[in-house]
Amino acid sequence: MSSSRIEITPASLAAPVPPRDIVADRPGRAAGPAEALANLLAGNERFVNRRPRHGHYVAAAEAAASGDQEPSALVMGCIDSRVPLEAIFDQTFGSICVARSGGQVLDRAVLGSVEFAVVELGVPLVVVLGHERCGAVASTVTALRTGERPDGALGYLVDEIAPAVTEVGLDEPDVQALAVRRHVARSVLRLRAEQRLAAAIATGGLDVVGGLYNLDTGRVELLG
C-alpha cells in the first residue's frame, strides 16, 4: 500500500447537498489511486460526522445512467447488513463499484468482478473492507475449534477464511478480531499478486488497500 499521507480538507466535509444540486455535483473519475482513496476517506468523515453529501435521489440515479460508467474505486466487503458500502463512504450513484460476499471471500466470481472493474472500467483503486464482529469469521473460529465443518457452500467460506484464523492461532484470546484483520491482509496480497492487477499496480494506475469498519463508530481504519 502506498505510504503517502491522505489529506482530508475542510472542503471535503462540506454541508449536505440539497436534492436539486445532486446532478451538478456528480463527481468525475479520480485522477489516480491516492485521490480516489482520499475521496473515500473524506466521505467516511462526512458519514461519521453526520454530514453526508449524497442521498438516494432519483435525479442522481438518472444522472449516473445518462453516460458511461466512470467509477473511482471498487470496494469489496462482507454481506453484513450493518455495513452498506455506498452509505459508509457517502458515495453517490456511479461513484464506486461494489462486490460483496460472506466474510469478503475472494471466489472466482469476485475476482472476475474486480478484474472487470480494473481492466474494463479503469478503476484506479480496490479496497478490501473487513468489519468488526464478522459472523463468517466467528463461524470459522467455531468450526476449527470443534472440528465440525459446515455442510454445503458455507463450508467453502470457512475453508477460505480458515488460513487467517490458523495464522493468528486458536489459542489467541482475541483470535476473532485479529483473524478479521489477517483475512483482509491476505486478500489484499492475493489481489495484488493477480497478473492483470499487478500489471496495473506496476504502472501506478492502481492501488489495492485494506480497511476495517468499526460497527460502533462508523469509522473506516486503513490497514497497512
Question: Confidence band (pLDDT; 50, 70, 90) for 51?
Answer: confident
| Residue 2 located in a structural domain | no
18 in any annotated domain:
yes
Residue pLDDT, tens place only, 128-142: 999 999 999 999 999
Evaluate if residue 27 carries a pLDDT over 70.
no
Torsion of CA 93, 98, 101, 107, to 10 degrees: 150
User: Which three-class secondary structure string do you get for the chain?
Assistant: CCCCCCCCCHHHHCCCCCHHHCCCCCCCCCCCHHHHHHHHHHHHHHHHCCCCCCCCCHHHHHHHHCCCCCCCEEEEECCCCCCCHHHHCCCCCCCEEEEECHHHCCCHHHHHHHHHHHHCCCCCEEEEEEECCCHHHHHHHHHHHHCCCCCHHHHHHHHHHHHHHHHHCCCCCCHHHHHHHHHHHHHHHHHHHCHHHHHHHHCCCCEEEEEEECCCCCCEEEEC
pLDDT at position 118 over 90: yes
What is the span of the domain harbouring residue 84? 10-223
- Domain containing 174 — which CATH number? 3.40.1050.10
Confidence band for 62, pLDDT divided at 50, 70 and 90: confident
Does the residue 214 lie in any domain?
A: yes
Q: Yes or no: say if 184 and 126 are a contact pair by the CB < 8 Å rule.
A: no
Give the count of domains, the chain.
1
* 4 found inside a domain: no
In a domain, 5, yes or no: no
Q: Is residue 208 part of a domain?
A: yes
In a domain, 1, yes or no: no
Mean pLDDT of 144-151: 95
Q: What is the pTM of this model?
A: 0.84
Q: How confident is the model at residue 18 (pLDDT cuts 50, 70, 90)?
A: very low
Please say whether the dihedral angle defined by the alpha carbons of residues 192, 73, 105 and 168, taken in this order, is positive or negative: positive
On whether residue 3 sits in a domain, the answer given is no
